[in-house]
Structure 1
Amino acid sequence: MLKRTFSTLTLWAAIISLLYFVGAHAAVWMVALMAVVSIYEFNKLTRAIGHHPFQIMSMVVAGLMIIVPYYFPQWNFTATDLLVVGVLGTAIRILGERDPATRTETLSSTIFALVYVPLMLGYFVRIIGQYTAPSASAGVLFFVWVVIVTKLCDTGALLTGMACGKHKMTPVISPKKTWEGVVGGVITSALISALFAWLFARWLPAGFTPLFAALVALPLAVLGVIGDLVESIIKRRADIKDSGKLAPGIGGMFDMTDSLILTAPAAFWLLRLM
């Protein structure tokens, strides 16, 4: 618990400092780093299962899916377009695989990794680039908001579960999760979201009221829990506890982005309701 707390505080200090001093560019490169390292660790898990995804190619395509749409809008390449490039590259390269018995697994695992990790996380870049009013930092603040709402659900669920958790949610997938913990995590997310909207009202659109923020935080928190469970399913199948060793007490990058993968696109759509 001490290691996890220290790693969490250190990561948040680094993130807030970079975003404050560098702004949107730091946010975009953070998302790119998240996508590239997460897909590396995701592929490591699927390799442990017995699949053989194209590691280097998928990491390169993942980075391009995040960077190109933001920095080269004149090219009119969306993340989906670059995903298609990845699919084409995978289809061509699969013909040269030496072991015909694993070609199907290589094809499916490589393409799924590109869809599940960078395509989903790429919605963060759309949020960052789309919201520039009433302040230029609105998109970056929304990026931070999604991360806070999602990750503090984990913290709220952990503390609530430790205090009064009795009913196991998914004993086979994640034995430590309880229904009481999840409810506590969702409520925590809603409260933190409302507080965030109130504190940063000056820099965010008028429609992002504390009430609106609390309401949209509810589905985001639930999706964050589902994303965490999905990773647990994969890790159990691979018989690996953590996706990596990036942060002591937390694990790898994929252990940190597992919940964000589902909340990024959902947040993009929900913010359109403002």
Structure 2
Amino acid sequence: MRQRVITAVVALAFFIPIIYFDFFGISVGLLSAALAGVGVYELFRMKGLTVISFEGVLAIIGAIILALPRDPWFTFLPEKTDKFALYYFVVLILLGISVLSKNMYTIDEAAFPVITSLYVGMGFGSFASARAESLVVLFFGLLIVWATDIGAYMVGREYGKRKLWPEISPNKTVEGALGGILSAVVIAIIYLIAFPAITYFGYPSLTLILMTVIFSIIGQFGDLVESAFKRHYGVKDSGIILPGHGGILDRFDSMLFVFPMMHLFGIF
């Protein structure tokens, strides 16, 4: 526990200034791209593949394209062309390997780097887009994720009895999941009182509270998805970059689901 706390404090001391100030308007984009690259590496590592390969490099490039905001990184593209067209070009190259390798590399094998880059790239790209919208939007999403994690852990440890999904994550409980949702709602209410919702999101406060419930559930589902990956590949953590916590995907798994859903719901 002590190691987890130390790592968390150090990480926050590093990340918060970058997120808050967004130095030169590019630091959050660079941070998102770096995290996306590490995320791809961790997924390749879990599968037992080397990221120092043609498909690994393309997966990292694809994830970085999705993670970086269009402005200022892709202003060289024609005005009517978005970065997703550039990402799709990377996908086409991956699919083209089947021809160059004379079908030794198949579409089934190409699916892994494509899904990997899409998963982490869109997740961290949505994180950067939320910051580009405003700090209020970004911290709304972060607080939902953090409150859910803390609430689920505290309530689950104290009152957890019924297993939520033992085949995937044996330690999670129904009581913990409900505690996470309740914690997120309480924090969201306090946050929306401090920052009136209608001013920043265009939604009435009650609607945002209902959305908070949905985002909390989605965040916990994202956590379970990452647990499913690890169970499938037979690993305990996605990586070792964060002592006491595991890898980047271990810490950002919920956010990779929540921020794209916030975007889908039109909050940014």
TM-score with structure 2 setting the length: 0.86
What SS class does the counterpart of residue 246 from structure 1 fall into? coil
CA distance in 1, matches of 2:143, 2:166: 27
Structural mapping, 1:41-80, within 5 Å? 41-47=42-48, 54-67=55-68, 69-71=70-72, 72-73=74-75, 75=77, 76=79, 77-80=81-84
Task: Give 1:68 deviation, angstroms.
Answer: 5.4
CA gap of 1:66–1:197, structure 2 versus 1, over 3 A, is same
CA distance in 2, matches of 1:126, 1:19: 12
CA gap of 1:223–1:206, structure 2 versus 1, over 3 A, is closer
CA root-mean-square deviation: 2.7
Contact 2:69–2:125 (CA<8 Å) still a contact in 1? no
Point out where structure 1 has 5 or more consecutive residues left out of the alignment.
132-138
Which region of structure 1 is more displaced relative to structure 2, 80-89 or 241-250? 80-89
Partner of 1:184: 179
Partner of 1:148: 143
Task: Give 1:122 deviation, angstroms.
Answer: 2.0
Encode CA deviations 1:145-171: one digit per residue, 9 max, x unaligned. Answer: 212211331121011100100000111
What SS class does the counterpart of residue 161 from structure 1 fall into? helix
Contact 2:150–2:180 (CA<8 Å) still a contact in 1? yes
Partner of 1:8: 8
Contact 1:243–1:252 (CA<8 Å) still a contact in 2? yes
What SS class does the counterpart of residue 250 from structure 1 fall into? coil
CA distance in 2, matches of 1:60, 1:247: 23
What SS class does the counterpart of residue 5 from structure 2 fall into? helix
TM-score with structure 1 setting the length: 0.84
CA gap of 1:140–1:269, structure 2 versus 1, over 3 A, is same
CA distance in 1, matches of 2:114, 2:21: 36
Contact 1:169–1:178 (CA<8 Å) still a contact in 2? yes
Partner of 2:124: 121
Task: Give 1:210 deviation, angstroms.
Answer: 5.2
Encode CA deviations 1:212-246: one digit per residue, 9 max, x unaligned. Answer: 44322111110111111111111111111111111
Task: Give 1:32 deviation, angstroms.
Answer: 1.6
2:89 counterpart of 1:88: no
Partner of 2:262: 267
What SS class does the counterpart of residue 249 from structure 1 fall into? coil
CA distance in 1, matches of 2:256, 2:20: 24
Partner of 1:232: 227
Paired residue type of 1:266: M
Task: Give 1:80 deviation, angstroms.
Answer: 2.4
Point out where structure 2 has 5 or more consecutive residues left out of the alignment.
none
Paired residue type of 2:157: M
Partner of 1:136: none
Partner of 1:194: 189
Instruction: Select the residue among 109, 113, 117 that pairs with 2:112.
Output: 109
Contact 1:167–1:179 (CA<8 Å) still a contact in 2? yes
CA gap of 1:190–1:263, structure 2 versus 1, over 3 A, is same
CA gap of 1:265–1:20, structure 2 versus 1, over 3 A, is closer
CA distance in 2, matches of 1:66, 1:171: 33
Task: Give 1:123 deviation, angstroms.
Answer: 2.3
Paired residue type of 2:68: I
